[in-house]
Structure 1
């Protein structure tokens, strides 16, 4: 007799193809050993891509754009239909909805992708910070297990939410790539980030300006969109870097990484950045701020203080021109290993028995 595996319902409250979607798609492609996966998401690109992979998808009004009441109703309906042994939520809205919507029966699990030591990075005000901290502290009392994507993330969760369940660190998995063809070292610098204040892109432009003075052939691509675009364009113009700096909007990240030598990311906080992982596994140079989970991915020689323009310039030069000091990603967990660890977290929480 063939036993039907238990179901894990993954609840994702966004449908754009950003970092959390990458995580979800990797898991959908690989699978979690011993589990049937069902994905709940609002209409958009993510459920379409999941269906392309052959995943089972529940699409409905779920997430901040649809409101709390509709999200609770959608999740309740999905739980009633799918009868999951686990409801696994991602991002704050889904976490709180699950605490309200899911009764006895399924084990509640969460993966924390986006917490910062300083909550103002995400919430912009002290009042909202306090409200969200209280909401997460309360909802964690209903959860049976939690995953953090870095040690820094787990420490921030413990500090801010005081969870009563164990928090297990399961980093985002990345599969090895075939070595790319060797080419001459260079100083084509790339940023793949939303053009928003927490990414500290003006500091990157200042560091690049210092680099450009000594290496006039260096270039910088600030890929992405966001509210800082006018500020950045004005800064580039003021520094006389118009011929060296491009702001092309959205780009294909794989193609962009293939066309550049160094990825730079000077964010206020990162948890377990897929951009850093992808750059390192490709053999690119990497320069990042010494915050959050970045030191868990990168060696000290890749880490800088964002406000030290000379230090940023020196790191960009070394990472671009000296391939031997680039970080690589030896020994990092693969996607399959990440999925196996997730199954172990489910088992530790008593799910699927």
Structure 2
């Protein structure tokens, strides 16, 4: 059977694209599967697409596309669609006369047995332009029935009556469809999104960390979560909340966090992909939405062994979570109820851990193979109904039309003999020659790896076996700037078929200079060297890890580069002062931290030095040594403003620590320890009394002051 999915833009990043790719990959295990992207905006998809799934773009809107394939100047792009309401064409989503033309051409010649449309505009086009009786026509609702604008809803309702089936991602929304559309012949049913189990190590439940993730939009009600966290932080200041995502609500949430004095308790992390590594760092997940069509983030967190506290909103959470077993449901819009639910799991560790284990089991209901089987059952039901009504059941075969090709392809001229070269005896030397060539030509290295950090800080790089070949393989780390000799670590071969090659990076045995290091796999027999693609950079083990005692201080964080390669950021200093707490108080800025690579003496008189950049004055303040490694100091606002003098611009000071009043060695104060790669983008603080603390790109602590700051 051939199954085709219609996506508006398969080259973007979003829940509909992700769930479609997951389902398509699962169905491709038993069927031919094609994803048809109405438009193409970049060269390759932003999300991983299974190699077994064919991707066919219809309209090429890449800025740098070759002129012979580009559609950017096509006049039909400016003409309205004859089928899709204008309200469906907003922002990056667009339907026009060219989309009508290309969809009609595809639907007229496709050899698919099933065509599935994934958004309202595509559902409308499938009903209007699809070939009735030639293939099953199925719509998918990835939002909620009542959330669409009136003109879109009206057009969709008319279109659904002409399809074979329409699926909603929750049974509750399927019931809404049936209630609103009584009597139509279309099968209206609920089939949730499929969410694959993650390849990362699940949460161990040890971190005092709550994680939330999703688009920062009003319907997600992150403002409710922030307000609830004020109650949580008051009772458990050692617990922390991270919010992952981007969106228009980000500035308002930042203001709310600052106004509630929660800058040191809530971190806005920005977007992160893949998100699985971040769920696994948490011990609790939070979802406070006003409504959810499904709740993919809930299932993702559950796959990672994280129990979820979610509002019991329409329609998804109540169908996913079993309250008291694998998570908690709380009333919608109730700040106190959200705080109570979070506190219940924070204060009951056995319950939290048992729910996490149950969540992993429950999430298997949404595994791609199970959802693919559910779709196969739907197809069989529809085909059976068609046969019962007297229509023939489509049978794939050579008489079916060829698949749509949007542009003619150049034929390749291949000279292939019609029969083998001579009799069998004559082919023996050729076989021997080919065997020799195969031995001489080595398979290329295409290493793909994940990196894990255990509770002792040992990093293990797991290289997938399909991408590496040969013997004498090494993992090397090359400093991105100094050009010195790379650090070499042997890659141990797989212990069983399908197991990864492994390299161990022991922070106690390997000395890495400060900076960023790129990972390569090197084959010693021919010195072939290839950079390592990153599958997952798992930092769960870094969340509660502490630096090794003694000097020098060192810290490593693995990460994926923007172009998808495995890299490592390292810090190495004779000593380092870690700013654990940065807090604005009534009279000054207070910093509390720990000293690494050095210790305070019994009669120590440490001080903090503020060194200006520019014409301002330096100044010092006394530091209280709480014990041999812990310290606290306050920078009075009056002292900072006095040191700024009469300057009109913004003044910056870098902060360092000296163990004694007469010490000449300055110890940099910063925030490095933990799993966050670039804290200068996440650990942000408001201006208080005209002063703002911040972290520089090296994650060292500084302060700024300007006349206009309030």
> What TM bracket, shorter-length normalisation?
0.7 to 0.9
Q: Is the 8 A contact 1:33 1:340 kept in 2?
A: no
Q: Is the 8 A contact 1:199 1:267 kept in 2?
A: yes
Task: Compute the displacement of 1:82 (Å).
Answer: 2.5
Cα separation, 1, equivalents of 2:127 and 2:96: 12
Q: Is the 8 A contact 2:168 2:192 kept in 1?
A: yes
After superposition, the Cα gap between the structure-2 partners of 1:34 and 1:298, relative to the gap in structure 1 and judged at 3 Å, is: same
**Which secondary structure does the structure 2 equivalent of 1:84 belong to?**
coil
The answer for unaligned runs of 5 or more in structure 2 is 61-87, 384-392, 396-710
**Within the alignment, does 1:221 sit opposite 2:242 as a pair?**
yes
Q: Which moved more, 1:325-334 or 1:252-261?
A: 325-334
Match of 2:537 in 1: none
**Within the alignment, does 1:134 sit opposite 2:154 as a pair?**
yes
Give me the TM-score of the superposition, normalised by structure 1.
0.87
Cα separation, 1, equivalents of 2:197 and 2:216: 29
Cα separation, 1, equivalents of 2:112 and 2:45: 19
Cα separation, 2, equivalents of 1:183 and 1:85: 45
**Within the alignment, does 1:346 sit opposite 2:382 as a pair?**
no
Match of 2:163 in 1: 143
Which of residues 325, 334, 337 in structure 2 aligns to 1:308? 334
Task: Compute the displacement of 1:72 (Å).
Answer: 2.0
Q: Is the 8 A contact 1:145 1:346 kept in 2?
A: no
**Within the alignment, does 1:108 sit opposite 2:137 as a pair?**
yes
Match of 1:76 in 2: 104
Q: What is the correspondence of 1:13-32 to structure 2 with a 5 Å cutoff? A: 13-15=8-10, 16-31=12-27
Task: Compute the displacement of 1:48 (Å).
Answer: 6.3
Q: Is the 8 A contact 1:31 1:37 kept in 2?
A: yes
**Which secondary structure does the structure 2 equivalent of 1:349 belong to?**
helix
Q: What is the correspondence of 1:232-271 to structure 2 with a 5 Å cutoff? A: 232-252=253-273, 253-271=275-293
Task: Compute the displacement of 1:238 (Å).
Answer: 0.7
Match of 1:7 in 2: 2
Q: Is the 8 A contact 1:224 1:248 kept in 2?
A: yes
Offset from partner CA, 1:178-199 (integer Å, 9 cap, x none): 8946745444111111111110
Q: Is the 8 A contact 2:276 2:301 kept in 1?
A: no
Q: Is the 8 A contact 1:108 1:145 kept in 2?
A: yes
Q: Is the 8 A contact 1:276 1:286 kept in 2?
A: yes
Task: Compute the displacement of 1:139 (Å).
Answer: 0.2
Cα separation, 2, equivalents of 1:279 and 1:184: 12
Match of 1:53 in 2: 51
Task: Compute the displacement of 1:47 (Å).
Answer: 4.3
After superposition, the Cα gap between the structure-2 partners of 1:187 and 1:9, relative to the gap in structure 1 and judged at 3 Å, is: same
Match of 1:295 in 2: 318
Which of residues 23, 28, 35 in structure 2 aligns to 1:39? 35
**Which secondary structure does the structure 2 equivalent of 1:337 belong to?**
helix
Offset from partner CA, 1:132-177 (integer Å, 9 cap, x none): 2211110011101122222112122223344532223222234456
**Within the alignment, does 1:210 sit opposite 2:205 as a pair?**
no
Q: Which moved more, 1:274-283 or 1:27-36?
A: 27-36
Q: Is the 8 A contact 1:32 1:342 kept in 2?
A: no
Q: Is the 8 A contact 2:27 2:33 kept in 1?
A: yes
Higher strand proportion, which one? Answer: 2
Offset from partner CA, 1:189-231 (integer Å, 9 cap, x none): 1111111111011001111111111011121112111111111
The alignment's C-alpha RMSD in Å is 2.5
Give me the TM-score of the superposition, normalised by structure 2.
0.45
The answer for unaligned runs of 5 or more in structure 1 is 1-5, 124-128
Higher helix proportion, which one? Answer: 1
Which of residues 158, 175, 181 in structure 2 aligns to 1:155? 175
Cα separation, 1, equivalents of 2:48 and 2:216: 27
Cα separation, 2, equivalents of 1:217 and 1:97: 54
Cα separation, 1, equivalents of 2:288 and 2:98: 37
**Within the alignment, does 1:200 sit opposite 2:230 as a pair?**
no
Greater relative contact order: 1 or 2 (C-alpha under 8 angstroms, separation 6 or more)? 1
Task: Compute the displacement of 1:318 (Å).
Answer: 2.8
**Within the alignment, does 1:280 sit opposite 2:310 as a pair?**
no
**Which secondary structure does the structure 2 equivalent of 1:139 belong to?**
helix
**Which secondary structure does the structure 1 equivalent of 2:298 belong to?**
helix
Cα separation, 1, equivalents of 2:198 and 2:332: 30
Q: Is the 8 A contact 2:169 2:191 kept in 1?
A: yes
Task: Compute the displacement of 1:75 (Å).
Answer: 1.6
Q: Is the 8 A contact 1:73 1:101 kept in 2?
A: no
After superposition, the Cα gap between the structure-2 partners of 1:197 and 1:184, relative to the gap in structure 1 and judged at 3 Å, is: closer
Cα separation, 2, equivalents of 1:176 and 1:298: 17
After superposition, the Cα gap between the structure-2 partners of 1:273 and 1:264, relative to the gap in structure 1 and judged at 3 Å, is: same
Task: Compute the displacement of 1:294 (Å).
Answer: 0.8
